[in-house]
Structure 1
Amino acid sequence: MSKWGKRKEEYDRDDDSDGDGESPVKKKTKKKFVSDDTSTIEICEISKTRKVSVRMWQGKIFVDIREFYIKDGKQLPGKKGISLSLDQWEVLRNHIDEVDKEIP
C-alpha cells in the first residue's frame, strides 16, 4: 500500500474527468489551493514561478504543473496550470522519448 492509502491501479479507474486536461471541477468561485480535502507533495521547481507537484484531490491523485505568484510575501498558486489524472500522466510519460527526439 502506498502513502496515499490505495495502490496506483485503484486510482487509475476512478478518473471521471473528460480528458480535456483541466481539473474535474469547473467552478467560477475562488478556492484555496490547499484545503482539508487536498494533500500536496512538491516534486520540483522547474522555474522561479513554475512547480510540479503530486496532489490528492477528492480522493484522486493528480500530477499538477502550475505557475505561482507572490503576494504579501507568500508564494501562491495561479490560475495557469494543468492537472493531469494518472491516466493522462501515463500517456504523457509514455511519449517523453518522442518529445525528446523532436527537440533539436
Structure 2
Amino acid sequence: MSGFRGKRKEEVEYASEGDTEGHAPPRKKTSKKDSSDDSTDDIVVCEISKNRRVTVRSWQGKVVVDIREFYVKDGKQLPGKKGISLTMEQWNVLRDHVEEIEKAVNENS
C-alpha cells in the first residue's frame, strides 16, 4: 500500500501484530538494536492472541504503545505490517474512552 512508501524497512516492519485470546504473560523486557542504530527496550505487556501483542517501546526517541501482528521467519518472531503504534497522547485518549467503548461493545453484542 502507498501508506508505507518512502519509509525505512524497520519502520514498516514495526507497523503490525497477530492472535491469542486474552492471557497476559509476565512482562518481558528485551533489548534490540536495529540497523538504524536506534536501540529499543520493548516491554511485552500482553499477548492478545497467537500472533498479536501489545508492547511498550521507544521509537525515534518517543514512548509508544504498539499493538501489532507478528509472523515467524527462520524460527524468529518478527513484527509484521499490520498494527498501530500509539503516541502517549493517543494512548491517553483511548484509555480515557475505554468505558464508552465497553458500553458500545455491550450494546452491539
TM-score by length of 2: 0.66
**41, 63, 66: which one aligns with 1:64:** 66
2:6 alignment counterpart: 27
**Letter matched to residue 104 of structure 2:** E
Unpaired stretches in structure 2, ≥5 consecutive residues: 15-31
Q: Which has the higher strand share?
A: 2
Deviates more, 1:54-63 or 1:33-42: 33-42
The secondary structure found in structure 2 opposite 1:88 is helix
Displaced runs of 4 or more, over 6 A: none
Aligned residues, how many? 81
Q: Percent identity?
A: 59
Distance 1:43 1:26, change over 3 A: farther
**Letter matched to residue 78 of structure 1:** G
Could you tell me whether the CA contact under 8 Å between 1:43 and 1:52 is conserved in 2? yes
1:53 alignment counterpart: 55
Give RMSD over aligned pairs.
Answer: 2.2
Unpaired stretches in structure 1, ≥5 consecutive residues: 1-21
Could you tell me whether the CA contact under 8 Å between 1:39 and 1:57 is conserved in 2? no
